[in-house]
């Protein structure tokens, strides 16, 4: 068995743990692991973590204690029910203390030594009285953690307009700054409703697809520049990197669609070598359509 295994917890939280006892695991198995001042439980996500993840695990000295027993599985199901009730109770207390915050999720540590409440807020919130109230009710350590709207979408999960699982919940580990410049570079209409994701912010795919798009357009004439075709002189009106075509607008306002092959017949050549194609998503192929934004 691998010495190091990636474990996934609630809300897409993931971490790599040492497997000193060489316990046999398969993806999806439950494992009891060391946690801060106690034990936690998660599911095996990846049997082959990266070297960087392994080094981080060694620094933090995290390890797997044992495989989950049938009694542990029952306890996990009970914990999920308790989390739902605790979230409702905390929402009532937030109203009672008149706090301007939105509760997102609740997570019990497997051994019950800690309960974490995740929330979003526009400003910093003084929740000291709320913590005292919760600690008095549950008689355990209470932690309130403020997260951003992107982290909220990651924890809750869901599906995008493309029909696939949200990228933040599926594979993105760190959020990078995104601006409308990424949309402009990809010739997308600056429509906030189409550019915004489930979190209400600009879609993550705008940034991680940008390098591929900037590479792909080098095979085409520059947008909005003059071009000469067999029909005459015109302006490059639109580029479609997926169909490998361009639209040319002529002085009489007529628009003609030409393929790359037809352009090459007119003497146009791409200066870029296809071997220079940038890596996408750590080498993973991305088949998302741009019109899904």
Per-residue pLDDT of 46-79, as tens digits, reads 999 988 888 988 888 889 999 999 999 999 999 9
Same domain, 116 and 135: yes
The percent of residues in the chain predicted with pLDDT above 90, rounded, is 44
Give the per-residue pLDDT at 267. Answer: 66
282 domain-assigned:
no
Residue-level pLDDT at 228: 85
Q: List the beta bridge partners of residue 238.
A: 247
| For residue 168, pLDDT beyond 50 | yes
| Sheet with 64-67, side-by-side order of all strands | 14-18, 4-8, 38-46, 30-35, 64-67
- DSSP 8-state symbol, 281: G
Q: Does residue 244 lie in a domain region? A: yes
**202 and 218 both lie in a single domain:** no
Tell me, yes or no, whether 34 and 9 share the same domain. yes
Give 175-237 as a DSSP string.
PPP--HHHHHHTT----HHHHB-TTSSBPTHHHHTHHHHHHHGGGSPPTTSEEE-SS-EEEEE
- Domain match, 182 and 231 both: no
Q: What is the span of the domain harbouring residue 171?
A: 162-207
Q: Is 159 a residue whose pLDDT tops 60? A: yes
In a domain? residue 289: no
**If you average pLDDT over every residue of the chain, what do you get?**
86
pLDDT at 293 over 70: no
Between CA 259 and CA 243 the distance in angstroms is 8
Residues 54 and 79 in one domain: no
Total domains in the fold of the chain: 4
In eight-state DSSP terms, residue 276 is G
Question: Between the ranges 40-44, 171-175, 286-290, where is the mean pLDDT highest?
Answer: 40-44
Q: Among 23, 50, 68, which residue terminates a domain?
A: 68
The better pLDDT of the pair 2, 166 is held by 166
The pLDDT of residue 262 is 82
- Are 92 and 141 contained in the same domain? yes
pLDDT digit string, tens, across residues 223-276:
888 888 888 888 998 888 888 899 999 998 899 998 888 877 766 655 444 434
**Domain C-terminal end among 68, 100, 117:** 68
Q: Do 199 and 234 belong together in one domain?
A: no
Q: What is the per-residue pLDDT for 18? A: 94
Domain membership flag for residue 288: no
Report the candidate in 238, 219, 235 with the shortest Cα–Cα distance to residue 227: 235
The residues that bridge with 239 in the sheet, in sequence order, are: 246
Give domain status of residue 179, yes or no.
Answer: yes
Question: Does residue 189 lie in a domain region?
Answer: yes
Q: Both 84 and 143 in a single domain?
A: yes
Question: CATH number, domain at 262?
Answer: 2.30.30.140
Pairwise CA distance, residues 130 & 218, whole Å: 57
Considering the entire predicted model, what is its pTM?
A: 0.74
User: Domain with 122 in it: what CATH number?
Assistant: 3.30.300
Asked whether residue 287 is assigned to any structural domain, the reply reads: no
Q: Is there a single domain that holds both residue 143 and residue 171?
A: no
Q: Are residues 240 and 201 part of one domain?
A: no
Does any domain span residue 152? no
Provide the 3-class DSSP secondary structure of residue 117: strand
Place of tokens 């309130």: 144
Strand partners, 103: 119
Phi, psi for 148 (deg, rounded to 5): -90, 175
Query: Residue 187's pLDDT is what?
Result: 80
């Amino acid at each position: 068995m691998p010495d190091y295994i990636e474990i996934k917890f609630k809300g897409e939280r993931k971490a790599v743990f040492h497997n000193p006892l060489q316990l046999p695991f398969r993806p999806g198995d439950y494992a009891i692991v060391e946690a801060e001042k106690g034990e936690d439980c998660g599911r095996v996500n990846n049997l082959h973590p990266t070297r960087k993840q392994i080094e981080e695990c060694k620094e933090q000295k995290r390890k797997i204690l044992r495989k989950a027993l049938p009694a542990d599985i029952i306890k996990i199901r009970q914990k999920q029910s308790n989390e739902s009730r605790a979230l409702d109770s905390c929402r009532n207390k937030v109203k009672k203390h008149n706090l301007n915050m939105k509760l997102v999720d609740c997570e019990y540590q497997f051994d019950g030594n800690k309960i974490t409440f995740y929330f979003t807020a526009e400003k910093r919130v003084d929740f000291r009285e709320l913590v005292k109230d919760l600690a008095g009710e549950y008689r355990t350590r209470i932690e309130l953690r403020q997260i951003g709207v992107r982290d909220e979408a990651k924890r809750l999960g869901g599906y995008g307009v493309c029909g696939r699982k949200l990228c933040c919940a599926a594979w993105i580990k760190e959020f990078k700054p995104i601006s409308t410049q990424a949309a402009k570079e990809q010739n997308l209409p600056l429509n906030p409703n189409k550019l915004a994701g489930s979190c209400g912010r600009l879609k993550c795919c705008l940034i991680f697809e940008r390098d591929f798009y900037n590479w792909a357009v080098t095979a085409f004439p520059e947008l909005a520049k003059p071009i000469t075709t067999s029909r005459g002189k015109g302006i490059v009106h639109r580029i479609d990197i997926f169909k490998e075509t361009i639209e040319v607008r002529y002085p009489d306002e007529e628009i003609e669609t030409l393929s790359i092959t037809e352009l090459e017949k007119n003497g146009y050549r791409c200066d870029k070598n296809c071997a220079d194609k940038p890596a996408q998503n750590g080498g993973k192929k991305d088949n998302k359509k741009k019109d899904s934004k």
